[in-house]
């Protein structure tokens, strides 16, 4: 909770400072029904994606907030995965996902390449496309317990990735088999930080307020 301002000037300065930061603890407020546009917690609609930069392909998956499609980056000549918002009123939460994912650097966390606003005013981000299957599908294909147990060694890198996120002050909050991909070489990749929260800033503020 923000401290009570001691003067109009200091209150205005504090409000502006906090408004420039991404709040990692407060969920996004949904857009009011029948609203004409983004609310106060939505980013300004300024298209930043070149019309011909990414050629969109087939949909790879979707969740409650967005969808992921295959895309081709014509500037760098590579296939990527592009995630974009598909639900109104979730721009702030999506921006938090981008901010959190960008701070993580681990071989078993899908890296973020780019982000911006598309021509429809929807935020998006671009990440490496992982060719493989989610863990739940791999488990379902196993015929018996012995086959399922062979998957365990592949998950060690995923455990290390979660530990890395914790060391950066990030809690995923949605670890489940469908959010763990096994690529064609058998390496595990943690995906979807849409529900993640960052606690480092909160802890820092607590310690600073302790005497």
Round to whole Å and give the CA distance between 33 and 29: 12
Cβ–Cβ < 8 Å for 95, 144: no
Strands 123-128 and 132-134: unpaired
Q: Find the length of the chain.
A: 211
Q: How far apart are CA 153 and CA 112, in angstroms?
A: 26
Contact criterion met (CB below 8 Å) for 69 and 85: no
Catalytic residue among 23, 41, 73, 174: 174
The C-alpha atoms of residue 75 and residue 54 are separated, in whole angstroms, by 8
Annotated catalytic, 174?
yes
Calpha distance 70→55 (Å, rounded): 9
Active site residues: 174
């Amino acid at each position: 909770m923000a401290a009570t301002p001691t003067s109009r000037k200091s209150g205005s300065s504090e409000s502006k400072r906090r408004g420039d930061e991404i709040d990692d603890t407060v969920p996004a407020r949904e857009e009011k029904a029948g609203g004409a546009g983004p609310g106060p917690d939505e980013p300004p609609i300024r298209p930043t994606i070149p019309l011909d930069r990414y050629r969109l392909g087939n949909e790879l998956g979707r969740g409650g907030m967005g969808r992921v499609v295959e895309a081709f980056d014509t500037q760098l000549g590579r296939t990527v995965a592009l995630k974009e918002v598909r639900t109104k009123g979730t721009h702030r939460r999506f921006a938090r996902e981008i901010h959190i994912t960008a701070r993580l650097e681990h071989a078993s966390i899908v890296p973020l390449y780019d982000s911006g606003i598309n021509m429809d005013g929807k935020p998006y981000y671009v990440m490496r496309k992982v060719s493989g299957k989610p863990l739940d599908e791999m488990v379902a294909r196993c015929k018996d317990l012995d086959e399922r147990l062979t998957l365990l060694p592949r998950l060690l890198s995923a455990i290390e990735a979660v530990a890395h996120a914790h060391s950066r002050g990030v809690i995923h909050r949605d670890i489940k088999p469908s959010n763990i991909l096994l690529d064609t070489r058998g390496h595990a990749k943690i995906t979807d930080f849409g529900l993640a929260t960052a606690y480092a800033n909160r802890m820092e503020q607590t310690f600073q307020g302790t005497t």
